[in-house]
Structure 1
Amino acid sequence: MSGALITAYRSFNNILKHLPVEESLPEILLRVIELTEKTFNYRQTSILLFDKNTKKFTPFTNKNRHQLCRERFMVNPNKIHFESICEKEKIIISEHITTNNEYRKYYSLKTINSVSSCYGLPILSSSNKILGIIYSHCSQNSLMTDNEYELLEMAATICSISIEKNIKEQELNYIASYDCLTNIWNRRAFYRQINKSIKDIKFKNKYIIIFYVDIDKFKMINDQHGHRFGDRVLKKYASKLKQFNNEKTGAARLGGDEFIVYSEVNCLIEANVKKNSILSELNKIEIDGVLITASIGSYCIHASKIQDVSIDSMINQADMCMYKEKHLSRSL
């Protein structure tokens, strides 16, 4: 085994050792590219990431080092027929691009910039699903040595582990932040986001308004029409609230039939406009001929006073206002 390959092994092992606690996926992939190119410096390395939603490959780029990654990328991802290529689970292309008939239909040679040989390996998940492709390019016709091939396999393995780790982290973050039934924020995410908003407006002449939303007679709706119908009602209200989400407004399900919304506003007039727009969306929703209404309470506070009030206190104030609104509507 060559000294270069031994050094590469150690470097890849170092990446793996620190993978659980350090670095983002873009930084790890960039390290893989740099390490592969450093070991065999007459080749260039690029990575394509597979998007399972669009069924397309996209070039990996690092936001902080965008140009560096773009310069390395030499194969047009739009010309890749991923299903045929990735089913092979082997080296893609060969040492002579222009004479390899097997892959000619998959690539437009005009889109390969000064590359005579190009090797690629599918990046496969632990369940053998395609995650991407890692490529090694060379400006001359060149047969990949056993050492180079082994290095490319190591690089593909590191990429696979890193991408799968990132996917799992995203899934866990989603589960931790979103209500499983309605797919809007849960209580934990709401507290996190409103804390950010509070920090943002502390030194600004703005207000935060909280809206507490309660579906009227929800228990009776469940009893009369069943829990599946009740779930449809909750999803409907959640979808209505999601329409208000933007960088200054966010909605969450606190639990049961109770939802909460916060919004940054510039003045009390804007707060009332926001409240009326939410009321118009949520009041008198009809599902399968059943008319459903909601009660909404609000609490508004200026940035200059917000440090004296806890988030729980703000929510309780909006909750109390909602019950007053509900009691008032019943007495009319």
Structure 2
Amino acid sequence: MEMKTALPLSSVIDLLLDAVCVVDAAGLFVYVSAACERIFGYSPEEMLGKSMIEMVVPEDRERTLQAARQIMSGQAQPHFENRYLRKDGEIVYVMWSARWSETDQLRIAVAHDVTERKRAESVQAAIYAISEAAHAAEDLPALFQQIHQIIGQLLPANNFYVALYDEDSGQLSFPYHVDSLKPDPAIPKPASGTLCAEVIRTHQPLLLTRSRLAACPVHLIDAFGQNVLCWLGVPLNTGRGTIGALVLKSYSGEACYTEKDQDLLQYVSTQVATAIERKQLHTRLQFMAQYDALTHLPNRRLLHDRLESALMRARREQWQFSLLYLDLDKFKQINDTFGHVAGDLLLQAVARRLKQCVRESDTVARVGGDEFVVLLESTLEPEHVAVVVDKIHKAFELPLDIASHSLRIQPSIGIAHYPEHGEEAQQLLKYADEAMYYSKHNEK
């Protein structure tokens, strides 16, 4: 019986779902099978002569070159994974099985597309990592930095920022902003007219590319900006509404995001929003525990902590510091005459004026009612404290505009020096308090 002629080897290879690639010693493709077009988006003709490393995602290039050197030294690589940029800008995860032919001076490799598996694994790992970060991060800036790193393991994230929305003021703040071409916005800006505003208004993700702009409203086209290749924003949705947006941006020559990337970022954003909300709550509770709700000055508890720290430093370095204990003269009379609202506004104005009289390194605290304590660290001589006291008295010679009234008020001030008037926190506070009452009595 006559046997049929076998198919040419190249035809058999082109039937494989995995791609076969041959690269020369210079890293250029010299042969690729038909499956390469399905995986990489380029036709075989387009890939021939193309540099392998230029198709690799920049973050993976050094690792890929190291693996190539190992292969060329005779070490086979049966399970090496890296990421490639497809022709359409999408990222594909590839597992390679490769070895070197010394005779032909060629690297022969088989590429298996593992993108779906890697995405699923990465998403699960990211969700776990975000949850861990929400508990471990010291504060919101630290949390945002960790979120950036986590998302960067899922998607290209050279340009990434977190935008938070204040519904009362209608403004956006950018507590975390990394952009290779535009500087970090230092101050909040109106949300209107921005792409973030569209995400927040609709509570829906927004993916914009240059090819999609033609079908967009004019205000989105204007906000897209120059040199931008792709803009992807997803809302940070919580039980109380949309609190902001996560944004990824790419410029010319970088990756272009896809619908799959949008879905991935949106899925992760739910965990990010929960983490931000949890950290914000923790920050608010911590603030309430350490700061006065009315004046936002340190309260008695935080003052005590700072005073203890000042004592430790002073003992170690053998230096001096001082305490000022202040009480507002005739505050009750003003409070009774003009009302508690005016009294609260007066206390807030007093707090601001006191902070203007001291250094950033000093502490102004409200310890109750109309009583304040100023911790002056690293005071070399008592004469320097007298200068601060005189500055405070002169500052309060100027009237305070409170609720359409011009009010004048002066503080009585007691002074305690360490170590002259005590070597413990309570001793110093008691001495300064008694000195303040003595001063108030003598002024009457």
Per the TM superposition, whether the score is higher than 0.5 is: yes
Using the alignment, how far apart are the partners of 2:184 and 2:387 within structure 1? 50
The correspondence for 2:308, drawn from 187, 195, 203, is 195
The residue that corresponds to 1:38 in the other structure is 153
**Deviations 1:201-244 (Å, cap 9, x if unpaired)?**
43335321111111234444444554344434433332321223
Q: Which runs of 5+ in 1 are unaligned?
A: 62-68
The residue that corresponds to 1:161 in the other structure is 274
The residue that corresponds to 2:126 in the other structure is 12
CA contact (8 A) 1:207 1:301 kept: yes
1:204 and 2:317 matched = yes
Residues 245-256 of structure 1: matches in 2 within 5 Å?
A: 245-256=358-369
Using the alignment, how far apart are the partners of 1:89 and 1:104 within structure 2? 19
1:55 and 2:168 matched = no
- Larger % of strand: which? 2
Cα distance change of structure 1 residues 153 and 257 upon mapping to structure 2, 3 Å threshold:
same
The residue that corresponds to 1:109 in the other structure is 226
1:171 and 2:284 matched = yes
Structure 1 counterpart of 2:428, one-letter code: M
1:277 and 2:391 matched = yes
Cα distance change of structure 1 residues 251 and 81 upon mapping to structure 2, 3 Å threshold:
same
Deviation at 1:28, TM superposition (A): 4.1
Using the alignment, how far apart are the partners of 1:157 and 1:7 within structure 2? 17
Deviation at 1:187, TM superposition (A): 0.8
Using the alignment, how far apart are the partners of 1:28 and 1:295 within structure 2? 44
Deviation at 1:299, TM superposition (A): 0.6
Tell me the secondary structure at the aligned position of residue 295 of structure 2: coil
The percentage of counterpart residues that share the same residue type is: 20
Using the alignment, how far apart are the partners of 1:238 and 1:23 within structure 2? 31
Using the alignment, how far apart are the partners of 2:343 and 2:195 within structure 1? 45
CA contact (8 A) 2:324 2:432 kept: yes
Using the alignment, how far apart are the partners of 2:184 and 2:348 within structure 1? 42
CA contact (8 A) 2:127 2:271 kept: no
Tell me the secondary structure at the aligned position of residue 292 of structure 1: coil
CA contact (8 A) 2:233 2:247 kept: yes
CA contact (8 A) 2:123 2:268 kept: no
Q: Normalized against structure 2, the TM-score is what?
A: 0.59
Cα distance change of structure 1 residues 118 and 254 upon mapping to structure 2, 3 Å threshold:
closer
Using the alignment, how far apart are the partners of 2:205 and 2:269 within structure 1? 11
Deviation at 1:132, TM superposition (A): 2.4
Tell me the secondary structure at the aligned position of residue 277 of structure 1: helix
1:213 and 2:326 matched = yes
Structure 2 counterpart of 1:9, one-letter code: V
Using the alignment, how far apart are the partners of 2:336 and 2:241 within structure 1? 47
Tell me the secondary structure at the aligned position of residue 87 of structure 1: helix
After the TM superposition, list the runs of 4 or more consecutive aligned residues in structure 1 that deviate by more than 6 angstroms: 73-79
The residue that corresponds to 2:14 in the other structure is none
Cα distance change of structure 1 residues 228 and 127 upon mapping to structure 2, 3 Å threshold:
closer
The residue that corresponds to 1:151 in the other structure is 264
**Deviations 1:239-271 (Å, cap 9, x if unpaired)?**
321223433321111112211111021212212
Residues 285-300 of structure 1: matches in 2 within 5 Å?
A: 288=405, 291-300=408-417
Cα distance change of structure 1 residues 99 and 231 upon mapping to structure 2, 3 Å threshold:
closer
Cα distance change of structure 1 residues 119 and 76 upon mapping to structure 2, 3 Å threshold:
farther
Deviation at 1:324, TM superposition (A): 1.6
The correspondence for 1:242, drawn from 355, 361, 364, is 355
The structure whose Rg is larger is 2
Deviation at 1:172, TM superposition (A): 2.1
Q: Which runs of 5+ in 2 are unaligned?
A: 1-114
Cα distance change of structure 1 residues 216 and 108 upon mapping to structure 2, 3 Å threshold:
closer
Structure 2 counterpart of 1:298, one-letter code: I
The residue that corresponds to 2:239 in the other structure is 126
The correspondence for 2:442, drawn from 322, 328, 331, is 328
The residue that corresponds to 2:87 in the other structure is none
**Deviations 1:80-122 (Å, cap 9, x if unpaired)?**
443234323333234x424422142221232x2xx4x443323
The correspondence for 1:317, drawn from 431, 435, 438, is 431
Cα distance change of structure 1 residues 129 and 249 upon mapping to structure 2, 3 Å threshold:
same
Cα distance change of structure 1 residues 321 and 11 upon mapping to structure 2, 3 Å threshold:
same
The correspondence for 1:84, drawn from 175, 198, 201, is 198
Using the alignment, how far apart are the partners of 1:152 and 1:36 within structure 2? 8
**More moved, 182-191 vs 21-30:** 21-30
Deviation at 1:22, TM superposition (A): 0.8
Tell me the secondary structure at the aligned position of residue 166 of structure 1: helix
Structure 1 counterpart of 2:280, one-letter code: I
Cα distance change of structure 1 residues 156 and 134 upon mapping to structure 2, 3 Å threshold:
farther
